[in-house]
Amino acid sequence: MEKIDQTIFYSIEKAIKSYRQFAQKRMITHGFSTTVDQGLVLKIIHENPEMTQQQIGLLTFKDHASITRIIENLVSKKILSRDFHSLDRRRFNLSITSIGLEILERMQPVVELNRVNALNGISERELAALKVTLNKIISNCQS
């Protein structure tokens, strides 16, 4: 039987965890108090202002409680504002405050540099092949 740390899925998970730890350290080094997950949620809301918390959870692979906690933290830091939806009182309108917009703007170069550093030495061809392979795995698991 194959050892767990010899499987491709272990390697994929380790790569993701390593990148997240690397990115979080870099965010702290650059003076950000937001987490990688908070930054991701902020970016998603910025790009999709009408998205529901449930949709954000699906896009970030987070459960309802985790998304609620992330949003609560962003609201308490005055990075997001949350108001009741005008047509559905069970929903909230989430909007990024001026503080949040400034954080997003300052964060973007760090995010881009993190990605460049993480992908150092990997060719465009290798990345394209990796994307194809990962999409095949996703498709196999969804069918």
Q: How far apart are CA 120 and CA 108, in angstroms?
A: 18
Q: Pull the structure tokens for residue 128.
A: 């394209």
pTM, two decimal places: 0.85
Q: Does the pLDDT of residue 141 top 90, yes or no?
A: yes
Q: How far is CA 43 from the centre of its chain?
A: 8
The residue assigned the tokens 């702290």 is 28
Computed over its alpha carbons, how large is the radius of gyration of the chain?
A: 18
Q: Which amino acid, residue 13?
A: E
Q: Does the pLDDT of residue 78 top 90, yes or no?
A: yes
Report how far apart, in Å, the C-alpha atoms of 1 and of each of 6, 7, 8, 9 are. 10, 11, 14, 15
pLDDT digits (tens, 9 = 90+) for 81-131: 988 766 666 667 889 999 999 999 999 999 999 999 999 999 999 999 999
> What percentage of the chain carries pLDDT values higher than 70?
94
Please state the three-class secondary structure of 13-80 as a single string. HHHHHHHHHHHHHHHHHCCCCCCHHHHHHHHHHHHCCCCCHHHHHHHHCCCHHHHHHHHHHHHHCCCE
